[in-house]
Amino acid sequence: MNKIALLIPKYRNELFGFSILTILIFHFFNDISDSDSAPALMTAANIYNSVIFSVGVDIFLFLSGMGLYYSMYSRRGIAGFYKRRAARILPAYAVIGGIGWIIIDLVLEKTGFPQFLFDFSTVSFWAEGATLVWYISFILIMYLIFPLIFKMLSIQNRRLRDFITAVVVIALISGCIILSFTAPGFYENTEIALWRTVIFIIGSWFGCKICRKEKLTYEIYLLFGLGVLFMILTFITGVDGSFLWGIFKLRLQTVFYPIIIMIAATALISLFDGKAVNRGLRWLGKISLELYLSHVLIREIFKIIGLPTYIIWNYLIVIAISFAVSIVFHKAAETIKKLSTKKRTD
Categorize the per-residue pLDDT at 305 as very low, low, confident or very high, splitting at 50, 70 and 90: very high
Query: Across residues 268-290, what is the average pLDDT?
Result: 92
257 vs 341 pLDDT, higher one: 257
Distances (CA, A) of 315 to 31, 33, 52, 182, 328: 10, 14, 19, 39, 20
Query: Domain containing 7: what range?
Result: 2-345
Q: What average pLDDT score do residues 84-89 get?
A: 89
Q: CA-CA distance, 29 to 44, in Å (whole number)?
A: 8
Res 96: pLDDT: 95
> Mean pLDDT, to the nearest integer, of 199-219?
87
| 26-37 pLDDT per residue, tens | 999 989 987 777
At 293, is the pLDDT very low, low, confident or very high (cuts 50, 70, 90)?
very high
pLDDT at 41 over 90: no
pLDDT for 304 beyond 70: yes
41-55, 191-205, 319-333 — which is least confidently predicted?
41-55
pLDDT, average across residues 226-255:
63
The domain tally of the chain equals 1
Half-sphere exposure of 185 (CA within 13 A, CB side): 2
User: What is the per-residue pLDDT for 285?
Assistant: 94
